[in-house]
Amino acid sequence: MLNDTLPKYFDPRKNAAHEVTIEGRMLLSVFPELSAALASNEGDAFVHLSFRVDEDRRYIATGSIKSTVQVECQRCLEPTSVELEIDLSIGFVYDEDHAKNLPGDYDPVVMTDGEVVLADMVEQELLLALPIVAYHPESGCNPVALKYASSTDDAPDDEIKPNPFSILADLKVKKN
Ligand SMILES: [Zn+2]
């Protein structure tokens, strides 16, 4: 059973019992926290999830999230794209205590009233996968932006700028 439209909410127990597979695209602009961390929230993420009940009767989902996101290059401060490909292996749990009993190969996702908000789950996975720092590939930086970025970065420019009062003082001296 394949749904090509992603649901807003889902019941992991029901999906696992019916071995449901869902897949589709979500716009990056629906993720507020992620959007704030990106240079641009244009684009989307492709989500694929297959649900089942495992041998220990856990409700689980395996699948992937794929997306190309724009983040700020730390060298020239212009956007650079980063490809994210996240493998998912999720165990759905009732609470934090229940999560502690999950084997290490599952990431816990806590259900609220038996349901999970798909966008919240996908957003958390994308945030965790974002690189802490990103750069354009070698020599891929925007040269103009690079010059600007480096000149503002390490500039003890107090010494370079003439002090307006000292100019005034000079003028006064010359007048006299
Ligand atoms: Zn760059």
CB under 5 Å of ion ligand 1: residues: 73, 75-76, 136, 141
pLDDT of residue 165: 55
Are 19 and 1 contacting, i.e. CB atoms less than 8 angstroms apart?
Answer: yes
Residue type, 161: K
Q: 112 alpha carbon to ligand 1 midpoint, in Å?
A: 42
Q: 140 alpha carbon to ligand 1 midpoint, in Å?
A: 6
Q: 169 alpha carbon to ligand 1 midpoint, in Å?
A: 43
Q: 136 alpha carbon to ligand 1 midpoint, in Å?
A: 4
Would you write out the chain's pLDDT as a tens digit for each of its 176 residues? Answer: 454 579 999 999 999 999 999 999 999 999 999 999 999 999 999 999 999 999 999 999 999 999 999 999 999 999 999 999 999 999 999 999 999 989 988 999 999 999 999 999 999 999 999 998 999 988 889 888 888 776 655 545 444 455 555 555 555 555 54
Q: 67 alpha carbon to ligand 1 midpoint, in Å?
A: 20
pLDDT of residue 86: 97
pLDDT of residue 157: 47
| Cα distance between residue 94 and residue 115, in whole Å | 10
Kindly tell me the number of DSSP H helices and DSSP E strands found in the chain.
Answer: 6, 8
pLDDT of residue 161: 53
* Number of independent structural domains in the chain: 1
Instruction: Cite the DSSP H helix spans in 70-163.
Output: 96-100, 118-129, 143-153
Domain hosting residue 83, numbered range: 2-175
pLDDT of residue 2: 52
Torsion of CA 108, 113, 117, 121, to 10 degrees: -10
